[in-house]
Amino acid sequence: MIDLTIENNIAEVVLNAPERLNSLDAASLGELGVAYDAAAAAGVRALLLRGEGRAFCAGRDITGVEPERDDAFGFMTDVLTPVLKKMSDFPAPTFAAAHGACLGIGLGLLIATDVVYVGTGAKIGSPFAKLGAILDSGGHALFTERLGAHRTLDLIYTAELMSGSDAVASGLFSRAVPDDEVLAFTREKVAAVADGPTEAFLASKSLVASIRDERIGLWESIAGENRAQGDLAATPDFAEGFRAFQQKRSPQFRGRS
């Protein structure tokens, strides 16, 4: 079950199936996509994703899957990947508060989120050696880019899991926070960002995605910054930010033009 609440320009999306560690099947992934669509349509200025209970998300719910009949390619290509893309393209800053198991699809949900804060005791890695399957949901790209080929294959071959603290120390995610504080910490950060210059944030989000996905270099990145700065100069928030600085007061951003 996926829950969505919207308040103060913030959407909070909750994976709410704690009895199965928030593992996701096709139906729940569909619900997740619908929740993101609803939050986008509401024009929220930030989104928080979290899991209820002992885990963020333990991966795909395979309790009822018959392996001989499972269309794994279809599930990954037609069900999962479109939801991950929708999450990544969300038109506002997105955050995740992750704890416990963050595996398989759960890892993919984090990869598709802009900023990830993890509990120090979170469990991150590739358990697929025990299933005869392959690490999915973008795990190969994340691990190889941040950890290098040797450590990536070490995690895949051994199925050993990293703690949240180790994952952050290795550069996988943003910050590690004590498990019992991660949600409150994330909510505090999200609330501050929801009051910020949303269009400027989205310009940076787009540029970071181009650097990551298109491997643009320094000068192309600078050109992108220059174009974005020129566009932002025509927005109310740009004018408000400069005026607030000059008047030595806190800015009051609208978030959108």
Task: Render pLDDT for 12-62 as a digit per residue (tens, 0 to 9).
Answer: 999 999 999 999 999 999 999 999 999 999 999 999 999 999 999 999 998
pLDDT value for 257: 66
Q: In what order do the strands lie in the sheet with 123-125?
A: 101-103, 123-125, 161-163
Domain 2-194 classified CATH 3.90.226.10? Answer: yes
What CA–CA distance (Å, rounded) separates 66 from 228? 50
Q: 250, 241 in Cβ contact below 8 A?
A: no
Give the H/E segment covering residue 51: strand 46-51
Q: What are the residue ranges spanned by the domains of the chain?
A: 2-194, 198-246
Measured CA to CA, the distance from residue 107 to residue 95 in angstroms comes to: 14
Q: Is residue 86's pLDDT more than 70?
A: yes
Q: For 238-241, which contacts have Cβ atoms below 8 Å and span 24 or more sequence positions?
A: 238/197, 238/200, 241/197
Task: Give alpha helix (H) positions in 122-197.
Answer: 139-147, 149-158, 164-169, 182-194
Average pLDDT over residues 101-107: 97
- Torsion angle, alpha carbons of 227, 228, 230, 231, to 10: 120
- pLDDT tens digit sequence for 110-126: 999 999 999 999 999 99
The percentage of the chain sitting over the pLDDT mark of 70, rounded to a whole number, equals 100
55-87: burial string, b at 16+ Cβ within 10 Å, e else: bbbbbbbeeeeeeeeeeeeebbeebbbebbebb
Q: pTM for this one?
A: 0.95
Please check the confidence at residue 63 and state whether its pLDDT lies above 90.
no
Q: Rounded to whole angstroms, how far apart are CA atoms 100 and 119?
A: 7
